[in-house]
Chain A
């Protein structure tokens, strides 16, 4: 049956008090303009085999905050400006040929820590697996660990001079005082 386009006009009129932000955003949408992007930060999606184990790992071992877990196959966590989506592979993620995504690979989030040695020792003490322990590269020291599904996470500690190597980033923000340790900007 074709819906009657005038149907809505026959519904009883309900008084509503829309929030001002909602009204503003609705008006912009009605005028065909896009709402300004309010999102900040960056989003990364990881596939995991066991959602509970993954959420516990990122929350308890790496200091993420759990934001949402609306279903047994999806969770959203934050650490600073990083929004991490954890998905259990399922039909919604299958490619047209049926291929399902899986955890693993080498691409990874990079988590800055103030004292890499102490972080590695603490995590190893909790039974976390490392693909490699501390490697010293140009301007940084880093370690590569695995979440319970085998996804890589890189820990890195900038060495003196690292931020001068990124002139653009240095111009946009004051050089963080590394001696004070990890920035406490988690939400």
Chain B
């Protein structure tokens, strides 16, 4: 089994660990200090780092040579496949999760964007099977 790694920048490691483990069912693999954690969800390894300034340790959260600090947010994201998006979203909304949008239906599936406590996007995705897409298409009139 190989692993795909994605790095997300977060402001609070423990809040992020709580979100990813309880809401999105990641497994915590390590949290050596409050700047870094590694979690797993299937073949996805999620590396969380808290940004540090020029005096912080070198590594994934370090500032750029010109001093620019890294920060959470943006639009690029990993995607988690769920079997029943509507049910998942309802359950997450009840537990107070924040979503950027409502469920959007595209060509290959339905999706929604949930935000972690630092405001990073995660896409929840339910694929639409090709036969289902055909069946649900309105009949030609």
Contacts and interface: CB of A to CB of B under 8 A. Distances in A.
A169 B5 CA distance: 12
Interface string A82-109: 1001000100100110000111111111
Interface in A152-187: 154, 156, 165-166, 168-169, 172-173, 183, 185
A137 B60 contact: yes
Interface residues of A, number: 57
Contacts of A144: 64
A106 B58 contact: no
Contacts of B70: 106
Interface in B6-44: 6-9, 27, 29-30, 32, 36, 38, 40-44
Given A80-B4, A132-B64, A142-B60, A43 B72 contact: no
A165 B2 CA distance: 17
Interface string B52-64: 0000011110101
Interface string B107-141: 10000000000001001010001010000000101
A173 B1 contact: yes
Contacts of A47: 75-76
A107 B32 CA distance: 21
Contacts of B32: 138, 165
B74 to A, nearest CB: 2
A13 to B, nearest CB: 18
Given A110-B47, A136-B58, A105 B30 contact: no
A163 B125 CA distance: 31
Nearest to A135: B58
A109 B6 contact: yes
B38 A166 contact: yes
B2 A81 contact: yes
Given A44-B76, A95-B101, A166-B38, A107 B43 contact: no
A109 B59 CA distance: 15
A47 to B, nearest CB: 5
Among B51, B58, B74, find the residue whose CB has the most chain A CB atoms closer than 10 A.
Answer: B74
Interface of A: 1, 3, 22, 25-26, 29, 34, 37, 39-47, 70, 80-82, 85, 89, 92, 95-96, 101-110, 112, 131-132, 135-138, 140, 142, 144, 151, 154, 156, 165-166, 168-169, 172-173, 183, 185
Interface of B: 1-9, 27, 29-30, 32, 36, 38, 40-45, 47, 51, 57-60, 62, 64-65, 70-79, 81, 83, 100-102, 104, 106-107, 120, 123, 125, 129, 131, 139, 141
